[in-house]
Amino acid sequence: IYYVFDGDLAAGAAMEGLKSTLTLVLGVVLLPLLTKLSDRCDKRQVIIGLLVFAALGNLLNIVCLTPDRPYLQLVPALAAAGLASSVWMFFPAMKADVADYDELQTGQRREGSLNAFYLWCFKLSLVASAGMDGLLLSATGFRVEAARQSPETLGAMVLIYTFLPAAIWLCGALVLLPYRLNRGAMAEIRNLIEVRRAGRKDGL
C-alpha cells in the first residue's frame, strides 16, 4: 500500500486480493504434482523443498517489489503457493505417523491429544503473527495518521517484508531435518504395532 502504491489503499487491497486468489488457485492446481512428489519422496523432503523454495521466492521481493512494476510482486507470492497447500495435505498424514510412533513408544493411542496440541500451536502461531505485525510496524517508525511514510520507514518495511518470512521458513526447514519418520521407518513401526496388538489378543 505505502511502498508500491504510495498510500493508495484501494489499489493495495486489490493487489492483495489478486495475490490471494492466484495463490489459492495455483495451490489447488499443484495438488496432483505434490501427490506425485510425495509418492517418490518422503513427506519431510517435499515440505523442506517447499519451505526453501518459498524462502528463496520471497527474497525476490528485493527486485520484484517496485512501484514501477507493481504486478511483479505476484512472482514471490506464487512461490509460496505449494507451501500453503502442503500444510493441509502433508501435516495430517505426519500427525498420523507421529501417533503410530507414540503408540510404539508408550503403548497408547493418543491421536486426540496430539491433534489438540497441534491445533493449539497452530492457533498460537496465528495470534503471535498478528501481534508481531503491530510490533514490527511500530519498530519501522510507521505512523498510521501520516499520508506518506518516510523513506527510512519504507525501507525498513521492505526489508522486514522480504527477509523475515524467508528466515522463518528456513528455520522451519531446519526444524524438520531431524524428523525421521520416513516411509521405511513407518512400515517397520506399523509392523511392530501389529505384532504387539496380535500378542495382546493372544494373551486375552
Please write the tens of the pLDDT for every residue from 58-109. 999 999 999 999 999 999 988 888 887 777 788 888 888 999 999 999 988 8
Average pLDDT of every residue of the chain: 89
CB 85 within 8 A of CB 28: yes
What is d(CA 79, CA 16) in angstroms, rounded to the nearest whole number? 15
* pLDDT band (50, 70, 90) for residue 162: very high
pLDDT at residue 202, rounded to an integer: 62
Cα–chain center distance at 191: 32
pLDDT at residue 201, rounded to an integer: 67
Joined together, the cell numbers standing for residue 111 give 491421536
Query: For the segment 21-46, what is each residue's pLDDT rounded down to a tens digit?
Result: 998 898 888 888 888 888 888 888 88
